[in-house]
Structure 1
Amino acid sequence: MTKNTGKRRNNELNVNEIDIATEPLELETLSYDEAVKRFLADAQRRGLRPDTIQYYRDKTGMFRRWLVAEDKADFIRMVMRPDIDAYVDYLKATRGLSNGSVNTHLRAIRAFFGFLLDSKYIRNSPTKNYPLLKVRAGNIETFTVKQLRSLFNAPDKRTFTGLRDYTYMLLLLETGIRLSESAAILIEDVKLAEGVIFVRHTKNNFHRYVPIQTKMIEQLRRYLKIRGTCESNHLFVTLDGEAMTRAGLQKIVTKYGTQAGIKGVRCSPHTLRHTFAKLSVMNGAGVFELQKILGHSTMEMVRVYVNLYSSDVNDRHKEFSPLRDL
């Protein structure tokens, strides 16, 4: 508060006074729920993927439930940096989440407060420069060649669903595409003559073409003939001719993994993606080819694959091993 000295005040406000005079009244009254509503509306305006918006909705919702328990959910200005520390501790100690899982929550919360700060709904962000937790690079689960053979032998190809599921799993291994990407493939995206699949529903909104080779092309041709025409234009359909949902497609690998008796590895579409990357690296794929096919926006994950599975170091070690001369 400005002290009254009895002298006539200067009519011109100083910098700090101008900030006080012009700051939105919402800085003091904006509720957490209203802040989330504006954040999600902005995400929709920017055309973010529905999966991403749902991810933000889920993580900000879970954070809200924790804030309610801490009696801090009324106004967004009440959330301070120590609250973020306490929430991280809660996720780790009470919920038992790993550092990697905690980071998925932190990324959403950082994006949320970053939006509020950029939009001038808050003066300071409690997550500004807040670091992600360190995650030790562990082994990435992949199928062995023997497990792949068992997996692909499990579907009954004398049935439509068996043929469809076999084709689907083969496509995941051939291209390394994500589950969400595979669920969005349309008939028109399958370019058999060109030997590519157009991937439209990508994580980073950059559409791409992924190559397919002769065995995959022939299998898709067989499947498309038997699939025939139906109301849905999606590549993978149910017996009723409706588009397979993401949840339905996700269950396919699990189902046949169980039938094949595969143990010690999670049977999922993402494991087939990792397996594609592993086998591609072992067969000589370079980082740039792999990044383009997998659709990674950065080289970080691609380097992980190369470091784990490249045989170059092993091959070169045969040449410079100190034991050669003993």
Structure 2
Amino acid sequence: MSKRNNRLSDDELRIIGQSVTTVMLGFDDALKDFISDCVRRGLREYTITYYKREVNDFRRWLLFTDRSLMISEVVRRDIDEYIDYLQQHKQLKPGTVNARIRALRTLFNFLYNTKQIDSNPMHKYPLMKERRGNIETFTIKQIKALLNTPDLNTFTGQRDYTFMLLLLETGIRLNEATGILAEDIKMSEGVVFIRQTKNHFHRYVPIQSKMKEQLRRYLKIRGTCETEHLFVTLDGKPMTRSSLQKVVRFHGDNAGIKGVRLSAHTFRHTFAKLSVINGAGIFELQKILGHSTMEMVRTYVNLFSSEVNQKHKEFSPLKDL
């Protein structure tokens, strides 16, 4: 064994400048601290699962490329090469890559802010540009087919019909529908209380007579259950997010619907489209949908507003030719 050089290298000098906690903190311990903080802050289970999934993908890549799992040794170049791998090797779409970037950015921001690392490799890390494509919605014919598919002589049929009708009436997210309790249906006020929101701001969404009538029928059939959740299984247990997601796909397949994504989110887009067509204002739409910014609401208005088409008839350059 050769004699070591007494003069420390640049890398060894950097280690001296770091705190003992930073030097010794491994990737798994860092992730554990981060997830514990997420739980303390009351983040949704779905959000925590998202962080675990995306961050662990980066961990697997570090192992795959024989890199250190010491969190303080992750540098900007590692992040760049990981993103290149996602784009070029796995050929992931920009939206999927951005999901990974956001998760890693949140993790490293937490570690840096809590002084567990001395430098943040994700500081101001840019997202990929996404080209927003056409937003898929159901046609009126497809909506009728979906709503006519459940067997209303069965409990599950009544439940699924109520669920899909509520998605169409309110445009709520799948996760929001999962968290609705029976007590959140305010019949006299004509609203549903949405407690499990994306941005943690509770809100009320309005419902009209047809929706209230169906909810009354369903609640009577549902009866008393051990759980307070609105949508329940035959065993009286709360429907999970994944089981509710399968409802739309199941009935869409049975209805023979093709060419559109069979999901609760397509109902959300459909609600927005029909609301804009029927004259909903941008602020009303933002409040009902629960968007924290106007960006997505403006997208809906730009895509689905018929006002521009009507005005174009008046100023079209070809009008008098």
TM-score tier (shorter): over 0.9
- 1:139 equivalenced with 2:134 (yes/no): yes
- 1:60 match: 55
- 2:66 match: 71
The amino acid across from 2:275 in the alignment is S
Q: CA deviation at 1:89?
A: 1.3
Q: CA deviation at 1:112?
A: 0.7
- 1:122 equivalenced with 2:87 (yes/no): no
Aligned equivalents of 2:234, 2:189: Cα separation in 1: 29
Alignment match of 2:284 (pick from 281, 286, 289): 289
Residue pairs, 1:157-306, within 5 angstroms: 157-306=152-301
My pick for the range that moved more, 21-30 or 106-115, is: 21-30
Q: CA deviation at 1:85?
A: 1.1
Alignment match of 1:112 (pick from 103, 107, 110): 107
Q: CA deviation at 1:169?
A: 0.2
SS of the aligned residue for 2:205 comes to strand
1:47/1:230 CA distance change after superposition, 3 Å = closer
Contact 1:199–1:209 at 8 Å: present in 2 too? yes
Taking structure 1 as the reference length, what is the TM-score of the superposition?
A: 0.91
SS of the aligned residue for 1:48 comes to coil
TM-superposition CA deviations, 1:274-295 (whole Å, max 9, x none): 1111111111111111111111
Residue pairs, 1:308-319, within 5 angstroms: 308-319=303-314
Aligned equivalents of 1:73, 1:47: Cα separation in 2: 31
Aligned equivalents of 1:133, 1:20: Cα separation in 2: 33
TM-superposition CA deviations, 1:78-98 (whole Å, max 9, x none): 211111111111112222210
Identity %: 62
The amino acid across from 1:162 in the alignment is G
The amino acid across from 1:290 in the alignment is L
SS of the aligned residue for 1:270 comes to helix
Aligned equivalents of 1:72, 1:267: Cα separation in 2: 41
Aligned equivalents of 2:234, 2:42: Cα separation in 1: 33
Q: CA deviation at 1:40?
A: 1.2
The amino acid across from 1:207 in the alignment is H
Aligned equivalents of 2:16, 2:258: Cα separation in 1: 66
Aligned equivalents of 2:221, 2:144: Cα separation in 1: 24
1:73/1:52 CA distance change after superposition, 3 Å = farther
- The alignment covers a number of residue pairs equal to 309
Q: CA deviation at 1:153?
A: 0.7
The amino acid across from 1:233 in the alignment is E
TM-superposition CA deviations, 1:23-62 (whole Å, max 9, x none): 6322222111111111111111222111111111111111
Cα RMSD over matched residues?
1.7
My pick for the range that moved more, 90-99 or 129-138, is: 90-99
- 1:29 equivalenced with 2:39 (yes/no): no
SS of the aligned residue for 1:108 comes to helix
- 5+ residue gaps in structure 1? 1-18
Contact 2:227–2:237 at 8 Å: present in 1 too? yes
Aligned equivalents of 2:282, 2:19: Cα separation in 1: 49
Contact 2:26–2:69 at 8 Å: present in 1 too? yes
Q: CA deviation at 1:21?
A: 9.1
- 1:97 match: 92
Q: CA deviation at 1:132?
A: 0.3
Q: CA deviation at 1:22?
A: 8.7
Contact 1:64–1:73 at 8 Å: present in 2 too? no
The amino acid across from 1:131 in the alignment is P
Q: CA deviation at 1:73?
A: 3.4
TM-superposition CA deviations, 1:196-220 (whole Å, max 9, x none): 0000111111100000011101111
SS of the aligned residue for 2:319 comes to helix
Aligned equivalents of 2:202, 2:273: Cα separation in 1: 23
Larger radius of gyration: 1
